[in-house]
Structure 1
Amino acid sequence: MTERDEVDDRADEATTTDETTATDGGHGAAGELEDHHGLPGTNTLTRWFVTTNHKDVGILYTVTALFFLVFGGVLAMLMRAQLWIPGDQILSAAAYNQAVSAHGLLMVFWFLSPFAFGFANYVVPLQLGAKDLAFPRLNALSYWLYLFSGGLFFVSFFQGGTFTGGWTMYAPLNLPMYTPEPGATTTVLAMIMFVASVTVSSVNFLTTMHRMRAEGMRMRDMPLFSASILLTVWMMLFAFAALLAAMMILTSDRLLGTTYFAATSAGGSLLWAHLFWFFGHPEVYIVFFPALGAMAEIFQTFTGRRIVGRKWFIASMLLVALQSFVVWMHHMFLTAINLQIKTLFMATTIGISLPFDLMVFALIYTTIKGRIRFKTPFLFAFGGLLVFIIGGITGVFLGAVVLDYEFRGTYWVVAHFHYVMVGGVTALVGALYYWYPKMSGRMYDEFLGKVHFAVYFIGFNLLYFPMFMAWETPRRVFEYPMALIGYHQSATIGAFLLGGSFIIMFWNLTKSLWAGDPAPDNPWEYATTAEWVVSSPPPLENFPGRPSYASGSLSFVDELRPGGDSGTPSVADGGVADGGVADATMPVAHDAGEHAEEDHGADHASVWPFVIGLGGFFALLGLSGFQEGSFVGGMAGAMYVGLLAVGTVVLGYGLVGLTREPFEGLTGPFGSSWPFENIENTKLGMWIFLGSDVVLFGAFIGSYVFIRVAEGWRNWHHLIPEAHVPLPGLINTYLLLTSSFTVVLALVAAEKNKRWGVVGGLGATFLLGVGFLINKAQEWLHLFHVSTEAFPHGWTLSTNVASSTFYLTTGLHGAHVAVGLLITLYMLVRAVKGAYLDDERPVEYFGLYWHFVDIVWLFLFPLFYIL
């Protein structure tokens, strides 16, 4: 027996011995016992409603995303069945529009990114050497917001029909005059809830990845999958903030009757395109980057080689992430934007393909230099690379202004888009097979995996490649020339093959979960990132001690692995240590160090994230019955009002419960935290959130400037009544500036251990903020009831674009002030009881938010009251 066989036998023996333990994440037989701090076992349903552990949340994300894959896939097959021959054969025109729109929205938002972030939730903390994400309850909250947002979207089908204006929701088709059904409004509200989930998740991941890497793991040492997630999340933080602004403005147009996107003279349709595509094109890379990172990990593992040109690979990803925000106008070549700007964006579009060329060549050269093992994960990863190359090449055509005039709105775009996006899905399916043994503790059936790949790859290309040939077919239309019927029928056959391939996958993974061979710690010979050092599945706390890379490879400080086995050596990046072949018999060092981990266990259970998600679901569902200033009539209206009331109460109850819950999170030290060594997790999380808020307000202010320039900068004053004077805004400026000063006084008092100083400072801040809102309310009421020749019915939200931009932008700011006052009131009650004297940091973090709100007003005051 070889040394390698002995190691494998020991791993199998250890796995068999602890089989019941493994099924419960390392805690409790058969999942029936409680884990640390009251977390139920995995075999109990309760666990999945209260868990905050990153591995559980990762599984929830993955399973839920696969459900939405099936949901969107069924809609896709309905569309392809309709296109077997031209005409309305199965679906009516309205139903077909619903299917097209819902398929696009489900796949882009509720499947692609969440599927990738199922792996990110599970794997990234393990790869970084962290015991969990920085804010476990926020991680659970992000999942429940995601799930309930999908539930809202599902409900929209039963409200007279879901949104029918395409997944890009172009104006003016997104307005009530074209999509009047409540289901369309529910779709928009579901998008807002989804973006809230993304924002919470982004703050959590960025804080974790910048603050909680293991000792000795520099930013450039992160495994490629984690590096891809880091760049993805930074893009998400800013891109989704722009989408949130677009959705909030659209919601206001639909619910309150504002006129942003209905203002044709002020370029309302063009404004939507700018807002949507500023998000939309980074979203392509947000979707593909995790697939690219997983692809790189799989290539390293199954070729036995570190990625060729690793530092250039990472630099290329960074360059693409930055460039992704300066190419959005290539989606707008058919608009009235002048040719010089179109030419500039054509250059940036072609330029962004160059870093991708480098990454593709790095992956190809890695396979040439390595020794390929054709396992299922590699087949899918390599297949994903092949189809992405086709998608990238065909995309270059669309990057040229002249060719885009010919191809825009045709099936060439459909084919290109799917070769890129579903190319990413192909690699992510490989990632599912790759990490399935680690997540489940079982090995899948390799033969079925390869059958799945064969059927999938044939079905994929049979579905999408004929679309290039049938490019003259118009998008989102079921009529096409009879000469193209052969191509469409081939595509329909391919669609059913592609869909059927997932039945093989589901059968394989489900059967393997119950009857598969137990998975060793590391089932892949050359996988060396940290997740493969711990058991399959990993224990609740991930590691037996504090992980460290200070010696150049992974070691655990102070504690030994269960059973005394030291495990497999691991380098941060994957591939092999020191350029050689990883030897599974080499011991991992366990040295005592002066930075011994301070964490002695953290809480893992909280029901409040679920409660908050449930409350948000009911509140937004109730709000969907509010149309252009009033609720729909009759019993339906009463039902919507009731849902809104119940949802608001449950949401408030959940938020209060979350703040009052004694929850022990992770404490430091965490290891490498450059460049944020001296910034505590919560403070960094607040700074990151405010960065997203900067983009949100920037989008609102940018929309105001865009509309005003389109309307005519000087003509704008004719849209404003003389009663709109600067004095109320000036008074509010003084109120907010003074309130910033009183927050500082409260912080100083907390530092000096003066209870009543803290109470006085927070109380003064609260009163000044209330004064701001009262003054704002009086000003609005006065303007609402202005009666002049030019404005006989007052100056309301729907009077003109000037009133819409004024009320909505200052209203968003007022909502921030109101949230700040609720926080202030909560802190004031606690301060009276003596809180914040031993730890003034909550006052400091609240001050960051309050100062930001005040700074925003310093921009709004001159824009809306002086200029």
Structure 2
Amino acid sequence: MAGDLPPRTSIKRWFVTTNHKDIGVLYLLTALFTLVFGGVLSLLFRIELLGTGEILLSASGYNQAVTIHGLVMVFLFLSPFAAGLANYLVPLQIGAKDLAFPRLNALSYWFYLSSVVLFFLSFFQDGAFMGGWTMYAPLNIPIYTPSIGGNTTILALGVFVLSITLGSVNFLTTIHYSRAEGLGLWNVPLFTWSWLLTVWMMLFAFAALLAALILLSADRVLLTQYFSREGAGSLLWAHVFWFFGHPEVYIVFFPALGIMFETFQTFAGRRIVGRKWVIIAMVLVAVQSFLVWMHHMFLTTINLPIKTLFMATTIGISLPFDLMVFALIYTLVKGQIRLTTPFLFNLGALLLFILGGITGVFLGAVVLDFEFRGTYWVVAHFHYVMVSGVTALVGGLFYWWPKITGKMYDEFLGKLSFAVYFLGFNLLYFPMFLAWETPRRVFEFAPELGIYHQVMTVGAFVLGASWLLIFYTLGKSLVSGPDAPDNPWTYSRTLEWAIPSPPPLDNWSGRPSYASGRLEFREDAAAPDGGAVEAVERARPAEAHADHASIWPFAIGAGLTVMIAGFAGLRPLFEAMQEPETALTSVGAFYPALTLLGVAVLGYALVGFGRERFDAPEMAIAERWPFDGVGRTKLGVWFFLASDVVVFGAVIGAYVFMRIYVGWGTWDPVPPSALPGLINTYVLITSSFTVVLALVMAERGNKKGLLGAFSATLLLGLTFLSIKAWEWGQEFAHDIYWFTDLQYSLYFVTTGLHALHVIFGLLVAGFMVSRVLTADAYLDDERPVEYFGLYWHFVDIVWVFLFPLFYLF
């Protein structure tokens, strides 16, 4: 049941909380746990690299350690750690009481934890994935990395992307819809600006990755043939992965950049130089990040003019960064610097990033990339960029530690931890430039390079020791540190420093407002001109309060974890279908049973989530440009659908790419007849009309009309699925399956993904019908019907594209 939170000392609180500050703490703790896990893996393979050849790890063990280290650090540590800080701080910085959708925020965390659990589980399923963190084809298909644990790793990444998508939708809605009165976008704190652009990039970049993971999971579990086709599969994976992979660099670094801006302002005692130009530069980088992915593919068969174009765009994207770096430097030149622990970490981050950026320019040139690609030069450049971001994030943790915990830390220990960290970092990564001829991801190297690798291993242990010192410093602060004042920093001016440390549950006792040009806390909800409050606020009873507790997000995450763990082991089932002589009884029942158990738990939890009464009130008075007049939930649905557009775009793009690559006319249409597809097109278009009719009936308060329209939608949707099932049955009757050939993989996966969307829509529609029957739902508030209609119309529009692609061309 939704309701009040248990106290912080209760374990139950952390399973039911939806409060943004608690979720932020959970993110931070889990991310630090994954840091330790990934760090231990790195120490294992650094020991292995003390000399050439096998020393500690087998070839398989080394590949697993390197691969999972990369995946854990890039995915499970960097972005979630930034998300933890953003969860805690962004609502405080913009004057909101919580994120727009508190339960979805909790669900995002539990999906993240689910992916972490599945990553750990993969080691115990015949070994984790070991094809490198970039998962290049064809090494990512079962013939080269056949373990069930490899399947679990890939599926765990898919769960993580779901977490990211939910979080991105939530933050976008919150920042665009719930800013304090008078707080325009230009005046939003720079950390929030950096996070806003980060989640915009996440919304689209991770959608492309989700599409890639869906296709790869189909190859690994269902035995489709997307990435096994020689040449075409490798190039397809590179395109889709790097369309995500290059924005990911900025997704990781932007929050760190925002922390640099905040701390440089505070500890230089002046506003960042050229603030508006800095924001414009960040926007330009966010847009350009989607236009330079092909520089990761200079060694492929793409023709030279295209490579030259992408070389120019790669160099071009460095120019806005030059502006931001100079803004940071000039802010220090004009300021009065205080060498605190947060500032030292952020200054170190800037120095490291400059070196990483300069060495990256080398890789942006086609000729030099041919020489450096696949060597330790790339490894060094990559870590100087990515781990410089980690350095700034650590500085951010120290900066906001007094606000989060209400405790101060030992400044001497903090500075000592920075000194050890900075020394260990450079001992580990700078020798990689000198030993650049070492091939990456292998433990064989020229004997004369051994001294560099030994220095790197020493640096790795020094860097690990610095983290122990950081943990000790923060732990000592938590246990016995002095109480922190509300604002321990002289020149910090953002909103979170105007309230107690740590903040109260609902953040504000009054309503933050910048309407007068400066921060004020209004005790009532009156409009600034003395007029009446908005209707949504007037309609709330005096005793109403925001709910902060729900068990269902945790239950959904638990059900999904079990389902994915089971699904990862279903490949033998489809191998038995592929090889009729293989006895189906040899497959075993464990993984199918586990999958069904997960589906049952997930379904039960989703129903409980939908039926729960949960109050997350909107802000009555807020800045909502550029989405004035758009409802909060509708805005969230729009953002979600925008992400889904990219998922379908990538899957459909994969179909078009493969057909062009192998020759558009080299195979016959699948399916052979266009008539079923034409009938289904009319069926879905008609179902869109019945959804509109349902909305009209809800607006009129007509219960029978609403039930009739919803029932018609359900019937039409079931008709669509029935025709599709018949169509697939015709293929199966002729021994044609999704694993038969590439053309059938493309057909079954693409139309199957659409069918899953239809099934999900029908489940939601069925749930809504039950709510109308049992609770007269949607007659007083028709908005949920409208939101369902937006989703259903999107599903119908996707089919309008699929029909000609598969049935007519």
Instruction: Give TM-score scaled by structure 1 length.
Output: 0.90
Matched, 1:859 2:807: no
Question: 2 CA distance for matches of 1:681 and 1:502?
Answer: 41
Given candidates 558, 562, 566, the residue that maps to 2:523 is 558
- Which residue in the other structure is 2:565 paired with? 621
Counterpart residue number, 2:650: 699
Q: Structure 2 matches for 1:259-408, cutoff 5 A? A: 259-264=225-230, 267-408=232-373
**Which residue pairs with 2:579 in the alignment?**
none
Q: Match for 1:52 among 15, 18, 21?
A: 18
Equivalent residue runs for 1:693-772 within 5 Å: 693-717=644-668, 720=669, 724-772=672-720
Structure 1: distance between partners of 2:800 and 2:72:
40
Segments of 4+ in structure 1 off by > 4 A? 589-600, 631-636
Q: Tell me the secondary structure at the aligned position of residue 637 of structure 1.
A: coil
d(CA) in 2 for partners of 1:636, 1:735: 39
Q: Which residue of 1 aligns with 2:552?
A: 608
Contact 1:128 1:222 in 2 (8 A): yes
CA distance in 2, matches of 1:485, 1:801: 46
Give distance in 2, aligned partners of 1:257 and 1:842: 39
Alignment match, 1:820: 761
Say which of 142, 161, 165 aligns to 2:127: 161
Output the CA distance in 2 between the equivalents of 1:197 and 1:866: 37
Q: How much does 1:772 deviate?
A: 0.1
Match for residue 581 of structure 2?
none
1:6-35 CA-partner distances (Å, limit 9, x unpaired) = xxxxxxxxxxxxxxxxxxxxxxxxxxxx9x
CA contact (8 A) 1:299 1:366 kept: yes
Q: Name the counterpart of 1:181.
A: 147
**Contact kept? 1:203, 1:689, Cα under 8 Å:** yes
1:135 to 96, 101, 121: 101
Compute the displacement of 1:559 (Å): 6.1
1:618 and 1:45 mapped to 2: Cα distance?
22
Match of 2:780 in 1: 838
- Equivalent position to 1:192, from 129, 145, 158: 158
* Structure 2: segments with no counterpart, 5+ residues: 577-583
2:619 and 2:480 map into 1 onto residues whose CA distance is 40
- How far apart in 2 are the matches of 1:335 and 1:219? 42
Indicate if the aligned counterparts of 2:223 and 2:574 stay in contact, CA closer than 8 A. Answer: no
1:475-524 CA-to-partner distances (Å, cap 9, x unmatched) read: 00111111111111111111100010010111111111111000111011
Point out where structure 1 has 5 or more consecutive residues left out of the alignment.
Answer: 1-33, 561-588, 787-793
Give a deviation string over 1:806-855, Cα, whole Å, max 9, x none. 11001100000000000111111222342211111111110000000001
Whole-angstrom distance in 2 between the partners of 1:669 and 1:402: 58
Preserved contact between residue 211 and residue 670 of structure 1 (Cα < 8 Å): no
Give the counterpart letter for 1:64 in structure 2: T
Structure-to-structure mapping, 1:246-645, within 5 angstroms? 246-264=212-230, 267-558=232-523, 594-595=532-533, 601-627=545-571, 629-630=573-574, 637-645=588-596
Corresponding residue for residue 683 of structure 1: 634
Corresponding residue of 1:570:
none
Conserved 8 A contact 2:572-2:587: no
Q: Contact (CA 8 Å) 1:142, 1:198: kept in 2 or not?
A: yes
Assess if the C-alpha contact under 8 Å between 1:440 and 1:537 holds in 2.
yes
Query: Relative to 1, partners in 2 of residues 1:603 and 1:631: Cα closer, same or farther, differing over 3 Å?
Result: farther
Counterpart-to-counterpart distance in 2, 1:712 and 1:389: 46
Q: Please say if residues 406 and 502 of structure 2, whose CA atoms lie closer than 8 Å, have aligned partners that are also in contact.
A: yes
Structure 1 residues 636-687: Cα deviation after superposition (integer angstroms, max 9, x where no partner): 8322122212211111111011011111112232410011111111100000
Q: Does 1:657 align with 2:598?
A: no
| Contact 2:249/2:386, CA 8 A, preserved across alignment | yes
CA positional deviation for 1:336: 0.3
Are 2:573 and 2:587, in contact at CA under 8 Å, matched by a contact in 1? no
Structure 1 residues 779-798: aligned runs within 5 Å? 779-786=727-734, 794-798=735-739
CA distance in 2, matches of 1:489, 1:635: 49
Task: Please give the root-mean-square deviation of Cα atoms over the aligned residues, in Å.
Answer: 1.7
Residue number among 177, 191, 198 corresponding to 1:211 in the alignment: 177
Task: For residue 551 of structure 1, report the CA deviation from its aligned partner.
Answer: 1.0
Alignment CA distance shift 1:311-1:97 (3 Å): same
1:671 alignment partner in structure 2: 622
Report what 1:87 is aligned to: 53
What CA deviation, in whole Å up to 9, does each residue of 1:46-69 have, x standing for no partner? 100000000000000001000000
Moved more, 103-112 or 475-484: 475-484
TM-score where L is the length of structure 2: 0.96
Q: Does structure 2 conserve the Cα–Cα contact (< 8 Å) formed by 1:256 and 1:628? A: no
Shift of 1:750: 1.1
* CA shift in 2, pair 1:506/1:701, >3 Å: same
Looking at structure 1, the residues matched to 304 and 221 of structure 2 have their Cα atoms a distance apart, in angstroms, of: 37
Q: 2: distance between equivalents of 1:680 and 1:590?
A: 22
Q: Cα–Cα, structure 1 residues 80 and 620, in superposed 2: closer, same or farther, change >3 Å?
A: same
Whether contact under 8 Å (1:381, 1:426) holds in the other structure is yes
Greater shift, 751-760 or 612-621, is seen at: 751-760
Note if contact 1:735-1:771 (Cα within 8 Å) is conserved in structure 2: yes
Tell me what 1:584 maps to: none
Q: What SS class does the counterpart of residue 737 from structure 2 fall into?
A: coil
The residue number in structure 1 matching 2:792 is: 850
The Cα of 1:102 is off from its aligned counterpart by 0.4
Deviation at 1:427, TM superposition (A): 0.3
Look up the match of 1:42.
Answer: 8
The answer (yes or no) to whether the contact 1:625–1:637 under 8 Å persists in 2 is no
Total equivalences in the alignment:
794
Distance 1:131 1:415 in 2: 42
CA shift, 1:601, in A, is 2.6
Worse-superposed segment, 246-255 or 794-803: 794-803
Following the alignment from structure 1 to structure 2, what is the Cα–Cα distance between the partners of residues 57 and 662?
20
CA distance in structure 1 between the aligned counterparts of 2:605 and 2:332, rounded to whole angstroms: 51
Distance between the aligned counterparts of 2:705 and 2:321, measured in 1? 57
Separation in 2 of the partners of 1:151 and 1:824? Answer: 32
Structure 1 residues 739-788: Cα deviation after superposition (integer angstroms, max 9, x where no partner): 000011111111111111101110000000000000000001001222xx
SS in 2 for 1:547: strand
Q: Would the aligned equivalents of 1:557 and 1:591 in 2 still touch at CA under 8 Å? A: no
Q: Distance in 2 between matches of 1:760 and 1:307?
A: 60
In the other structure, the counterpart of 2:748 is 807
The alpha carbon displacement at 1:37 in A equals 3.7
Residue in structure 2 matched with residue 23 of structure 1 by the alignment: none
- CA deviations on 1:432-470 (whole Å, 9 max, x unpaired) are 000111001101111100000000000001110000000
SS in 2 for 1:231: helix
Secondary structure at the aligned position of 1:89 is classed as coil
| Separation (CA, whole Å) in 1 of partners of 2:440 and 2:406 | 44
Distance (Å, rounded) in 2 between the aligned partners of 1:520 and 1:40: 26
CA contact 1:724–1:783 (8 Å) conserved in 2: no
Cα distance between partner residues in 2 of 1:513 and 1:411 = 40
Q: Per the alignment, in what secondary structure is the counterpart of residue 38 of structure 1?
A: coil
